[in-house]
Amino acid sequence: MKDPCIRELLRTTELKHYIDDNDSKIVEELSLPVAKARIDIAVINGSLHGYEIKSASDTLQRLPSQIEAYTKVFDYLSIVTEEKYGQKILDYVPEWIGILICNEKDGIKSISELRKPIKNEKRESMYIAKLLWREELMECLEERKIKFRKKDRNWLLCEALSSNLDTDSIADIVRSKLKTRETWK
């Protein structure tokens, strides 16, 4: 299966209940503030769940650096792959990462869960804060009466936010902001 087929299968199965949910937002190709990484699909609601697609025609060469980036940001992560890579990915990735296997037999496509994702305990508040745009960062800081200078660079704004709030609070703020964005840069 090619990437577009896997994305469509995800939309009609795993992601189906999020599509019409007003409290959820699905973002494709979400850029992350780590090593120029981006996730194929992000579901934003009461948590931030990333879905990384590795079809049989992909290589796993970038997977280590991607996992490093995803670990800093996502509450949950699922690798969506095919039989070819299922066991190899299962043996390689940390236990908190879920694995979904896509199959096609006699023209019928399906997804099965090889491993369920569990909550990532290694998120880093600074990187989560970096998902916000400058205006969003300044608004968050102003609302919480956290001191900053308007000319500060974005990383300083993120640092101010992450040094004054715990990771879960920052994650709540970021998810709320991401869900209400009308346009994406």
Q: What pTM was estimated for this model as a whole? A: 0.93
Distance CA 60, CA 78 (A): 15
User: pLDDT of 110-130, one tens digit each?
Assistant: 999 999 999 999 999 999 999
Buried b (16+ CB within 10 A) or exposed e, 54-82: bbeebeeeebeebbebbbbbbbbbbbbbb
User: pLDDT of 25-71, one tens digit each?
Assistant: 999 999 998 878 999 999 999 999 999 999 988 888 989 999 999 99
Q: What percent of the chain has pLDDT over 70?
A: 99
Distance CA 72, CA 131 (A): 11
Model pLDDT, residue 107: 85
Distance CA 48, CA 169 (A): 13
